[in-house]
Amino acid sequence: MKRRILAAIPMISLMLFLISGLFYENWKIGWSFFLLIPFSWILLSSRPFRRLNDLMPMISLIVFFWLGFGFGLWHPAWVVFLIVPLVNMITEKRIRPRKFVTIVIVTLYVAVGVSTKSWHPEWVMLLLIPIINTIFFPYDIKKIASHRGTWKKDLDKFFNDKFVVEEEKDRD
């Protein structure tokens, strides 16, 4: 069944493109239906949440542009970007203290912004996220230091094994 749906997605995308353009005269939104083709493999894969988590920043950006260009909803569409950390928390199935601080501060910022209709000076409270995380939940420097040189070694080994050809000796 998954193969049949994947095979039908290009035609479904074309149909939605033509419907949005011909009936609603909105060709700007119509092109975005062709994005269903690459996104269909995410939803129909064996590990959809992991793939969705990896592509969520791009998906939210596309939805933001879709709402902005297609419907002129630039202002409320920014909320789409809050889905990125939400999907990440759902896929990881736990909330670490650093993420919890981020959630609380962003929720506070949105609540203050919606209630007072003032967003500009209040954005400064978002600086509390790195301040609180640095003071109360610093990264473990020992873990970072222990992994510091290994990626260079791995990368050098990869390139040397794959791309470096040993010199041939000249015959006299």
In a domain, 72, yes or no: no
Q: What is the pLDDT of residues 32-77, one digit of tens each?
A: 888 888 778 777 777 777 777 878 888 898 889 888 888 888 888 8
Which residue is it, tokens 């909803």? 73
In a domain, 33, yes or no: no
In a domain, 8, yes or no: no
Domain that holds residue 125: 95-164
Q: What is the pLDDT of residues 111-123, one digit of tens each?
A: 998 899 888 888 8
In a domain, 80, yes or no: no
Token representation of residue 116: 């007072």
110: helix, strand or coil: helix
The pairs formed by 27-35 with CB atoms below 8 angstroms and a separation of 24 or more are 28/69, 28/70, 29/66, 29/69, 29/70, 29/71, 32/62, 32/66, 32/70, 35/62
Decide: pTM greater than 0.85: no
